Amino acid sequence: MILSVVIVNYNVKHFLSQCLNALDNSLDGIDAEFIIVDNNSEDNSQAYIESCASKDFRYILNDKNHGFSYAMNQGIKLAKGKFVLILNPDTLVGSDAIRNSLHYLETHGRCGAVGVRMIDGQGNYLKESKRSVPTMWSSISKISGFSRFFPKSKFFSNYNLGHLNELDNHQVEVLTGAFLLTRKTILNKIGGFDETYFMYGEDIDLSLQILNQGFYNYYIGQVSIVHFKGESTPRRGLNYHYNFFHSMLLFVRKNLSRNFLFIGFLKIALLVLGALKFLKTNLKKIFSPLLRFGLYSMIVWCVSQIWAKFYFGESDYYLHSNHQYLIFIYGGIWTISYYTLKDRSMEIYNAFKGILTGMLVILILYGLASLEWRTSRAVIILSAATILAIEFIIGFITFRRRHGYWSLKEKAPQGILVGMSADTEVHFNFLKSNSSVQYLGYVSEEESTENHFLGNIGDLDQLLAQHKVHVLTFITDALEIDKIMKVMVHFGSGLKYLMFSTSSNVLLDSPDKNSRGAYTIVELKWKINTSKNRLLKRGLDVSLSVLFMLITPLVIWIIERKKGWIPNIKRTFLGQCSWVGYNSQDETLENLPSIRPGILEIKAVNRAVHLQNSFYAREYNIWKDLKIIFGSFSKLGSKA
């Protein structure tokens, strides 16, 4: 066997699915096997992995997350290939990426490992594609930010080798573990990954061990892959920062133990940087509610002072009551209400919903409280009105600065679907009704006469300028990964890129390369798959079965195949079939929600079979079933 592809998966089922689909094309004609190691995922990954099992697809399902290095070594031990590709599940590999990498490795005798150029989900080059072994100065440059200001300088950006052209091939020291092709004999000799590393730093260590064996590591800039950086390794929270900096310290202690000054510097600098990054990530979550709490409390105090002077003629009217405590209680209730009902897509409405809800809560508490814990209802209402006015002003200004126009609600960004599947119109309507993007139509490599066809992929420049498009959604089943990357690199990070798989009906969104929380996986909805409609459909089957049994003497003469009438009633009543089901001529039924086989089937012609089945599942209601049943009543004795 030539190649073993080893992937460690953890809670990224949908990314793994797309990764494997892309690999099917990349490995065409190569004698290869897949080895998937799951680190106790909780997103139904293990069931998906089990469903993929075959002769050339083996897997290990761990009942505990032992870390990346441990899991990768499990997979490497099973590998039968001459070469081993270490791959992240949140990658998309082009059609020639593996073939070209294998060729490079085979034709360069002292080549120990090969890495490739990586771009993220927004088309940006990922600097960690090629690196040097960290030194004290390169660490200072990276931590201090000098490398960011001088990205092409060998002196300041040596860690990420910024002086080396990303599109050329280079001999480098460190390759990334997201895509690392090496020889099985080398992995056997060095013992695989150092399992002391839990999640980060293990690729730096492995690269150095390969160099220590007398081999060289090569970066191939002419080969690219997509890496949805951050998805397979969450990059927020104290755990991330602890694991990352702990791994860096492990590496320095193991490989650079004589440089005590460097070790001391890293201990201090990395721990401080970790604390600062954690604070930067979480400070807004803490500071924003505290700021609102202070603002709301101050507004309640100001309104009560004005009301006391205006209505009671005494500015210190509330001075000798519990009002000083109520100021903070009211401010707290409004703050909690605001953030509980927060909706990021409609930020200006947050104030309206939150403050009015908070006011109702306060008025209820006011009615239940004893006299000494009551303030004037006018103070409550006027405070709510003042807070609303201020929040609306803040909201409008913020919205204007962020989006460039005045509105109460964010406009849906305009998008174009790229690629054409067998049922593009169905998928277009799916995306239009199930995502926050306003899709204008689709482009493809082939001409089409469908309603929403806008032109060829080559027309995208003109279409984007003409329609102010902000989103491109690629049909990954219909386009080669290389062509997707070419479009992403051409338009750059000015656009947002989404990946849609027609085989799994999953839309992958990657707006932020550094944050797992920003990655969203939107599973497209089928109305027939909702618990409500499943219950209604089953209820209709049972009800009609009882009704048909009762009226059999009256209608049996209408039925064309009379001997099938009673058996069909019995089978439908028992749940073995349904009165209406999909058209069984559809060869891709596995892509639709599972329902019982139908006595009557959806009518369709040729390639429209899947289109009609999809439409039935997507727009299902029981009135459709009733229309089909009573429109073809004479055929209810047919075989299901």
Residue 177's identity, in one-letter code, is G
> Mean pLDDT throughout 84-105?
94
How many residues belong to the chain? 640
Does residue 174 form part of some domain? yes
Does one domain contain both 497 and 560?
no
pLDDT at 180 over 60: yes
Does one domain contain both 342 and 377?
yes
pLDDT at 215 over 90: yes
Residue 179's identity, in one-letter code, is F
Residue 606 pLDDT grade (very low, low, confident, very high; cuts 50, 70, 90): low
Question: Among residues of the chain, what percentage have pLDDT more than 70?
Answer: 84
Q: Are 491 and 123 in contact (CB under 8 A)?
A: yes
- For the chain, give the longest Cα–Cα distance: 97
Does one domain contain both 271 and 305?
yes
Q: Which of 205, 230, 255 is the last residue of a domain?
A: 230
> Mean pLDDT throughout 612-622?
85
Q: Are 233 and 128 in contact (CB under 8 A)?
A: no
Does residue 640 form part of some domain? no
Does one domain contain both 556 and 592?
yes
H helical segments located in 83-132: 97-107
pLDDT of residue 517: 36
Question: Angle CA(359)–CA(365)–CA(367) in degrees, nearest 5?
Answer: 105
Q: Is residue 407 helix, strand or coil? A: coil
What CATH code is carried by the domain that includes residue 427?
3.40.50.720
Return the higher-pLDDT residue of 471 and 253: 471
Q: Which of 180, 196, 230 is the last residue of a domain?
A: 230
> Mean pLDDT throughout 541-552?
94
Return the higher-pLDDT residue of 401 and 331: 331
Q: Are 86 and 6 in contact (CB under 8 A)?
A: yes
Q: Which of 198, 215, 230 is the last residue of a domain?
A: 230
H helical segments located in 516-596: 531-550, 552-555, 565-573
Does one domain contain both 266 and 307?
yes
Does residue 17 form part of some domain? yes
The residue range of the domain holding 397 is: 234-409
Residue 519 pLDDT grade (very low, low, confident, very high; cuts 50, 70, 90): very low
Residue 285's identity, in one-letter code, is K
Return the higher-pLDDT residue of 535 and 133: 535
Structure tokens at 507: 């839309």
Closest by CA position to 270, among listed 245, 240, 292, 242: 245
Does one domain contain both 300 and 421?
no
Please tell me the least confidently modeled range out of 161-175, 199-213, 493-507. Answer: 493-507
| Cα(591)–Cα(604) distance, integer angstroms | 17
pLDDT at 516 over 60: no
Q: Is residue 225 helix, strand or coil? A: strand
pLDDT at 237 over 90: no
Residue 348 pLDDT grade (very low, low, confident, very high; cuts 50, 70, 90): low
Overall domain count for the chain: 4
Does residue 576 form part of some domain? yes
Does one domain contain both 391 and 245?
yes
Does one domain contain both 404 and 436?
no
Taking CA atoms, 358 is separated from 82, 334, 337, 378, in Å, by 66, 5, 6, 15
pLDDT of residue 104: 95
> Mean pLDDT throughout 85-106?
94
In angstroms, how far is CA 351 from the centroid of its own chain? Answer: 29
Does residue 494 form part of some domain? yes
Does residue 514 form part of some domain? yes
> Mean pLDDT throughout 467-483?
88
Does one domain contain both 387 and 500?
no
CA atoms within 13 A on the CB side of 16: 26
Does one domain contain both 141 and 270?
no
Does one domain contain both 76 and 199?
yes
Helix axes 13-26 and 97-107, enclosed angle (nearest 10): 60
Structure tokens at 611: 């289109």
Does residue 381 form part of some domain? yes
Tens of pLDDT along 289-338? 899 999 999 999 999 889 888 887 877 777 666 778 889 999 999 999 88
pLDDT of residue 309: 85
The DSSP code for 524 is P
Does one domain contain both 394 and 294?
yes
> Mean pLDDT throughout 101-123?
93
Does residue 513 form part of some domain? yes
The pLDDT mean for the chain works out to 84
| Cα(354)–Cα(242) distance, integer angstroms | 36
DSSP H or E stretch at residue 208: helix 202-212
Residue 369 pLDDT grade (very low, low, confident, very high; cuts 50, 70, 90): confident
Residue 46 pLDDT grade (very low, low, confident, very high; cuts 50, 70, 90): very high
pLDDT of residue 631: 92
